A and B are shown apart, each in its own frame.
Chain A
Amino acid sequence: MTNLYGIIPMLIVMLAGIAAMLAEAFRQPGERMPMFGLGLIGLFGAAAAAIVLWDTNASSFGVVRSDNFALFVDLILCAIGVLTMVFSHGVVEREGIPAGEYYALTLFGIAGMMLMASATDLLIIFLALEVLSLSVYVLTGIRRASAAGAEAAFKYFLLGAFSSAFFLYGIAFAFAISGSTRLDDVAVAMASGSNGTLALLAVGLLAVGFAFKVSAVPFHMWTPDAYEGAPTVVTAFMSTAVKAAAFAAFVRVFLSTLEPMQGHWIPVLSAISAVTMILGTVVGVLQTNVKRMLAYSSIAHAGYLLLGIVAANPSGKAAVLFYLAAYAVANIGALGIVALLGTADHQHDQLRDFAGLWRTRPALAGLMTIFLLSLGGFPPLAGFVAKWYIFAAAVQEAHYTLAIIGVLSSVVSVFFYLRIVVMMYMTDEAAAPAGPALSFPATAGLALATIATFYLGVLPTQVLNAALQSVQGIF
């Protein structure tokens, strides 16, 4: 029985997903089912379980371990899940998305992500990767009538499948040198240092697989199309949750198992990080579609997060965790607002749609500004502390050049975040119509995201310390 403790959080989410699916199956035509509520119960239950399991280091079947690192990511994922649920409420019906499938797939995706964060076996990581990817592929194309959605889902699926193959190939090489897929066995084989080429191939192929999932350059091609074509709530979900889960596994594999190979992969990841930051921001400047702009911004943020991995010190690992949390609340808040303003026939995702928003929807314009400023790294918001922490970790290891590229690209990114602010506050263009009213859950969700953005920016100590503690035990 104690063997199951480690998988309790993902189990709860999975059960909630199954319940949502059953509810859809037994639903009479025209009847409304409380799938939204089921999702919330599952996510809050998982979060509670994660808090109870804190410090227990519960391990299941030797391949899943809910150590504090995994639990920290679980909590971020639960927060993302809850925010996704509350922003979807109302939007799902309005956009004609089938509710049962939508909620069930989101929950399955989150369960897969939690598994990915806590897996200690390469094959389980792959399994989790597939669970979450399949859910997200379908979610991307869930509006069947939309050609853009179908195209985005297909692109995402093809490139994703491609990257999965790379990842699997990497696992095969790792198995070849160690005779096992368990992370600790692989680590022993890597540390022995006697398997030159095979080990390098394993490291390289695994890095490619992860780079696809976190959308690092040059493996980012799918990101703008998938983010633009997906329904906005799904964009909000996948831009934050998939990134959090993929980075969790990235950190675990590269900073514990593959740490002996540091000398080989740090230069490569440094270069990837630098071009990711530069390309994400520079191309982001050229966008006129807000979702596409935020897609490039999320590519840039992957570059900053990679800095934490390149730093390869305790601050770097903890910084990645903190950054994921800070990025998640701000990004999901911003995309949530885009989603809440949209209707079935109008996505409200063009820059000019935001013209004069401060006159028609002053509160939403204000919150949007806060989230964008946080993404741009302005104090006293979450994004500032997160960036500061990442750069501090990089500077600690004397990666001055990377840190300077990072801060300068974040100045460039401010330019395009501000383009939205300029549109909302400063242009003389006629204001767009006010858009649909907010439901209570959506209002509560926005309030939560705002509070979190300020909390992480003004009083980050508790979360920072939790992040630091959670990386100490396992690496």
Chain B
Amino acid sequence: MLSTIVFLPLAGAILVLLAGGRGDRPERESAVRAIALVASLVTFAATLYLWWGFDPASAEFQFVEHRAWIPAFGISYYLGVDGISLFLIVLTAFLTPLALLSSWDSVHKNVTLFSFFLLALETAMLGVFVSLDLFLFYVFWDAMLVPMYFLIGVWGYERRIYAAVKFILYTMAGSVLMLIAIIGLAWVHAASAGSPTFDLLELYRTGVPPNLEYWFFLAFTLAFAIKVPLFPFHTWLPDAHVEAPTAGSVILAGVLLKMGTYGLLRFSFPLFPHAAAAFAPLLGVLAVIGIIYGALVAMVQPDLKKLVAYSSVSHLGFVVLGLCALNVNGVQGAVYQMLNHGVSTGGLFLIVGMLSDRRHTRLIAEFGGLKGVMPRLVAAFLVITLSSIALPGLNGFVGEFLILIGAFQWYPKLATFAAIGVILSAVYMLWMFQRVNYGEVRNERNARLPDLSKREWALMVPTIAMAVLMGVAPGIFLRPMEASVARAVDRVTGAQPATVRMHAVEPPGAPAARPAVMEREARRD
């Protein structure tokens, strides 16, 4: 089942290549687009089916596939999902058709290759989220860079080559050190167990000598921190976002950034719990700096895409803060916020893409008074904006609220500073919204812009529906992830000495942590 989901897009990508034939053939464009869209929609349907079959009560990995791959080194083809990765998969499959659809009017240069790379990227992204073998994970992790590099470099805006090369080198530089740490970890396991393994669940149980543990943790965390991007490793992000085509930005913000936070939660923290506990305050402080810095820089951006890019730095800071709190509220909020950010920032980039398709500019100053010209588009814009600044009743609120609770239980001061970021995000988003949409139409060229087309309706309706659904019924998402989050938190805090654990264990009344704690007590006996 999981293999099917992961490789469906790749199969679609190969079909696209076959249908598109050699070179740039405009007459085959619509066939290629149809195949790509169908492939991505089928994948989305398959992920919904996966969700339907997922047992929400269990913290174990489900739909597990385990086959030997390179047995001499303990490398296996090992896939599985838990409540954390399940929704990230659904999110990935949800955003890819939107990304494809968003490019129908804006991408005309070699549509075949464009669709090929986007679908290949989807396979790599899905692979990252379901891999339970570190080698396999690294393969998907690194393979993902290539299609993204092409999407930015070939179909991006003016400074696309610079942005594409910066993106790939920056991310690679971080991840190769993780490769060394992965290999080192396998040999550490070999020293105690006799043979190396890359099996994540085995490695969770491997004790790493303290001096190595800290280095390995730093290597893993650097790779993920660059991806997130955590302040001060964020400098590649504005370039990549601004230069990428709309579809690339949607995927970049919607999914790629989550791989960083997902990696922290799945790999860095539970593999190296002592180092994680030692470094969590530092990461938390960096996250809060990122929240405030991202918000302040976003405020002064003249370019819509840059503004949304810096707002991502700020929002992802919240996610990292929630993860660092290492309690169920914080981590659950963080995972939820990953999904929120995917939907709302994905939506924002879609809207910015629509504006830039119409006007071929993304400068805020070029717009103004759009409300009277395109009332429907502006209405959609408003909902997405409000979801991004976490208005209660929309998706962003639930995640930020949980994160702040979690952070408050951990370090109240950090939570206080983070809360400033909530206010700032309302300031920069609403100010931007006001400048773009209200007032008089000052620019002649804005006067007769067409409102949402049918295709754009198809982009906006699912996005807004998702934002509302996640805002009013968070339970359908939170419940399936609860057990897995509790297990993940327990993996980290369970390894700590008792005094450290005091911080992390839930206060009475939080139902999720209870079974995990009791289970741990039972195991100790």
Contacts and interface: CB of A to CB of B under 8 A. Distances in A.
10 contacts: A358-B113, A379-B140, A392-B187, A400-B184, A403-B183, A404-B180, A407-B179, A411-B172, A411-B173, A426-B161
B45 interface: no
Contact of A422 (B135, B165, B173): B165
A411 B176 contact: yes
Given A396-B187, A415-B165, A426-B160, A391 B179 contact: yes
Contacts of B113: 358
A380 B135 CA distance: 11
A378 B142 contact: yes
A116 interface: no
Contacts of A391: 179-180, 183
A414 B172 contact: yes
A468 B73 CA distance: 11
B154 A404 contact: no
Closest 6 CB pairs of A and B: A407-B176, A379-B139, A426-B153, A395-B183, A362-B23, A392-B183
Interface string A402-433: 01100110110011001000100111000000
B177 A378 contact: no
B176 A408 contact: yes
A373 B164 CA distance: 15
Contact of B150 (A403, A410, A411, A425): A425
B498 interface: no
Nearest to B178: A407
A384 B142 contact: yes
Interface of B: 22-24, 69-73, 110, 113, 135, 138-140, 142-143, 145-146, 149-150, 153-154, 160-161, 164-165, 168-169, 172-173, 176-177, 179-180, 183-184, 186-187
A414 B166 CA distance: 11
Contact of B168 (A379, A392, A418): A418
Contacts of A418: 149, 165, 168
Interface in A447-466: 460-461, 464-465
Contacts of B150: 425
Contact of A378 (B143, B164, B173, B179): B143
A411 B22 CA distance: 31
B172 A359 contact: no
Contact of B70 (A358, A411, A461): A461
A162 interface: no
Contact of A464 (B72, B173, B179): B72
Given A379-B143, A464-B70, A464-B72, A408 B153 contact: no
A397 B179 CA distance: 16
Contacts of A425: 150, 153-154
A403 to B, nearest CB: 5
Contacts of B135: 388
Interface string A371-400: 001000011100010001001100110001
A373 B143 CA distance: 10
A418 B145 CA distance: 12
Given A395-B187, A411-B176, A425-B150, 13 more contacts: A359-B24, A378-B142, A380-B139, A388-B183, A392-B186, A395-B180, A403-B183, A404-B180, A407-B180, A422-B161, A426-B164, A461-B69, A464-B70
B72 A407 contact: no
Contacts of B179: 388, 391, 407
A379 B161 CA distance: 22
A359 B23 contact: yes
A373 B147 CA distance: 12
A22 to B, nearest CB: 43
A425 B154 CA distance: 6
A4 interface: no
A422 to B, nearest CB: 6
B22 A460 contact: no
A158 interface: no
A472 B108 CA distance: 56
A414 B161 contact: no
B118 to A, nearest CB: 15
Contacts of B22: 362-363
A193 B418 CA distance: 67
Contacts of A427: 161
Contacts of A460: 70
Nearest to A395: B183
Most buried by B among A391, A410, A422, A426: A426
A410 B176 contact: yes
A413 to B, nearest CB: 10
Given A392-B73, A418-B165, A373 B177 contact: no
A363 B112 CA distance: 13
A400 B216 CA distance: 11
Contacts of B164: 422, 426
Nearest to A391: B183
Most buried by B among A362, A363, A465: A362
A187 to B, nearest CB: 28
A468 B71 CA distance: 12
Nearest to B24: A359
A384 B180 contact: no
Interface string A343-384: 000000000000000110011000000000100001110001
Contacts of A379: 138-140, 142-143
Contacts of B72: 461, 464-465, 468
Contacts of B180: 391, 395, 400, 403-404, 407
Nearest to A419: B165
A422 B176 contact: no
B165 A378 contact: no
Contacts of A415: 165, 169
A464 B173 CA distance: 27
Contacts of B71: 461
A287 B154 CA distance: 23
B259 to A, nearest CB: 15
A407 B181 CA distance: 12
Contacts of A468: 72
A464 B154 CA distance: 36
Nearest to B23: A362
Contacts of A358: 110, 113
Interface string A46-75: 000000000000000000000000000000
B244 to A, nearest CB: 13
Contacts of A404: 177, 180
A126 to B, nearest CB: 35
Contacts of A408: 173, 176
Most buried by B among A358, A403, A407, A465: A407
B143 A380 contact: yes
Nearest to B75: A461
A379 to B, nearest CB: 4
A384 B153 contact: no
Contacts of B139: 379-380, 384
Contacts of A410: 176
A395 B154 CA distance: 37
A49 to B, nearest CB: 27
A414 B139 CA distance: 16
A422 B153 contact: yes
A242 B312 CA distance: 51
A395 B184 contact: yes
A373 B138 CA distance: 16
Contacts of B142: 378-379, 384
B514 to A, nearest CB: 41
A407 B222 CA distance: 15
A345 B22 CA distance: 28
Contacts of A392: 73, 183, 186-187
Contacts of B186: 392
A464 B74 CA distance: 13
Contacts of A380: 139, 143
Nearest to B179: A407
A378 B161 contact: no
Most buried by B among A395, A464, A468: A395
A362 B186 CA distance: 41
A418 B113 CA distance: 18
